[in-house]
Amino acid sequence: MKRYWIYLLLAISLLVNVGALAGAWFQAWRADGATELAFFGMGHERVPDYLKLDRTQRERWHAMEQDFVKALNDVGREIQIHRERLVREIFSAQPDASVIERERAAIFALQQAQQRSVIGQLLKERDMLSAEQRLALADLLLKQDPRNTADAQQLRAR
């Protein structure tokens, strides 16, 4: 009887993890493979218009964004590959805990690197924007989570 509860808890834990992975996969699928949609809510090519960049700023923006967006999408594809491996291993006939952990760790490392890359890119963009444009970009990023409307208003008040 005691083993039953252990297996039940393990199954519930796996279902929660798979649910989280499925949610992340659905977001990527809904964005149609364009990772930047998750960050800006629009394709990166529309952000310069939203920020009202001048000609010089647009040239710098596009030069910086080209490699960044490609790298972001490349890492997104790598994460997806590891997620697929993780899900396949979890639901295999004989799941190997070391393989599951290795795939989880790979996803975590890629996500950490991706976050660092995004932060670095935003700092570069910040340096080329006017104060008003910085506020507009911060507002755009904060709008991605409707719970952050107070944060966006605080930024505008500064």
Could you report the per-residue pLDDT of 8-18, keeping only the tens digit for each?
666 666 566 65
Q: Quick check: 86 and 104 in contact, CB under 8 A?
A: yes
With CA atoms as reference, report the closest residue to 86 among 6, 12, 24, 21.
Answer: 21
Percent residues over pLDDT 70 in the chain: 63
Longest C-alpha distance within the chain, in Å? 71
Arithmetic mean of pLDDT over the chain: 78
Q: What are the structure tokens assigned to 139, written together?
A: 């507002």
pTM of the model: 0.63
Q: Quick check: 29 and 83 in contact, CB under 8 A?
A: no
Of how many residues is the chain composed?
158
Categorize the per-residue pLDDT at 111 as very low, low, confident or very high, splitting at 50, 70 and 90.
Answer: very high
With CA atoms as reference, report the closest residue to 67 among 127, 8, 124.
Answer: 124
